[in-house]
Amino acid sequence: MKSFLKKISVLLLAAALLSGCGSRNSAQTAEDFIEENEEQADDIITVGFSQLGAESDWRSANTDSMMSAFTEDSGYNLIYKNGQQKQANQITAIRTFIQQEVDYIVLAPATESGWDTVLSEAREAGIPVILVDRRVNASDKNLFSCWVGSDFELEGRKVAAWIKAFTEAKDIAPEELHIVNIQGNLGSSAQIGRTRGLANAARENGWDLMAEVSGDFTETKGRETMAALLKRFDNVNVVYCENDNMAIGAIDALESAGKTVGSNIAKGEVMVVSFDGVNEKALEYAREGKISCIAECNPLHGPRVRALIEALRSGESPQKFNYVDEKLFSSLNDVSGVMIDGMEYNVENP
């Protein structure tokens, strides 16, 4: 598939060359120039990347990974669009990519629903779509070629299993856990999976899950949400934050309210657990014990997406869903690993 932008670039260069030439030889040279540069342009693969936004350190690292993977030196032209957390912006970006006749579209969707129409337009244009990080709830799974990202529910189950193992090691009864969940953007794959992981564990173990409130994956909203929750409840002793940025904000709110953040629930401390493992401040908090456990969410999808594109270009059929391996971090030594569905996940120092 030839990109419209490639054709325009070659024609503009040829026009510039012809404008200064009047001889037959010059015209022939221009024709040779066009043919040569069209061939070179065809070697460049144009990728349109619709990123949902820049709401967190994880998202920034994910964008950087994509930028590094799709460079001119590696044979790619990356067109990047920041959706600013709005699905409408992403839909507009995808339609622009279609008009530009890009070779591939990469989408990190803001939410799971509402993509059928625009993805159908991409399929009609013959442009493969690769989903990254989050999924879409499409009526036809053939509207996208493949997906690469994390198993968000498994991440939630890992953290819940760690909480269970840790509290049992400390002889803390299940009914003594009073948990609030500061969720991510409602409707996103990460929020849905991590929320489900905790909710199911709370029901199975008899934990008191008092509230689930969105903190939009941002530090500021995490701080505001935690402050509001402290006004509603005076017995919170576990804060489940669905990303590191919200955990940092929640810790600030807890300490501002005179609470001690840590793992000694029996002594009145408030335990904070989190996800991502990208933010350096969060990792330092984990080393200090202010964040008791972090489930890694690997953002470095650029090389993985490039490998999928290269497989598609070669006529291969990559797996539809491609999961990344991820770790569990804690500086506390009471739990060395957790078992989920017969699989053991080791706990590593952050």
pLDDT value, residue 217: 96
**Whether residue 161 is found in the same domain as residue 235:** yes
pLDDT value, residue 29: 59
Report d(CA 143, CA 115) in Å as an integer. 9
Averaged pLDDT in 10-residue chunks for the chain of 350 residues: 47 46 50 52 88 94 97 97 96 98 97 95 98 93 96 98 98 98 95 98 98 97 98 98 98 98 97 96 97 97 97 95 95 95 95
Helix or strand run (H / E) with residue 244 = helix 244-256
**Whether residue 161 is found in the same domain as residue 118:** no
Tokens of 268: 């009145």
**Whether residue 158 is found in the same domain as residue 246:** yes
Indicate the SS3 state at residue 262. coil
**Whether residue 80 is found in the same domain as residue 123:** yes
**Whether residue 125 is found in the same domain as residue 193:** no
- What number of other Cβ atoms are within 10 A of residue 51's Cβ? 24
**Whether residue 104 is found in the same domain as residue 183:** no
**Whether residue 250 is found in the same domain as residue 170:** yes
**Whether residue 169 is found in the same domain as residue 111:** no
Phi, psi of 98 (to 5 degrees): -65, -45
Q: What is the CATH number of the domain that holds 126?
A: 3.40.50.2300
**Whether residue 193 is found in the same domain as residue 338:** yes
pLDDT value, residue 31: 55
130 beta partners = 106, 146
Instruction: Count the residues in the chain.
Output: 350
206: containing domain: 152-298+327-348
**Whether residue 172 is found in the same domain as residue 312:** no
> 173-199: string of b/e by CB count within 10 Å (b at 16+)?
eeeebbbbbbbbbebbbbbbbbbebbb
**Whether residue 196 is found in the same domain as residue 339:** yes
Name the CA radius of gyration of the chain, rounded.
25
**Whether residue 288 is found in the same domain as residue 308:** no
Q: Which of 225, 219, 147 is nearest to 189 (CA)?
A: 147
Contact 177, 236 (CB under 8 A): no
Tokens of 210: 């008092």
Contact 294, 286 (CB under 8 A): yes
Q: How many domains does the chain have?
A: 2
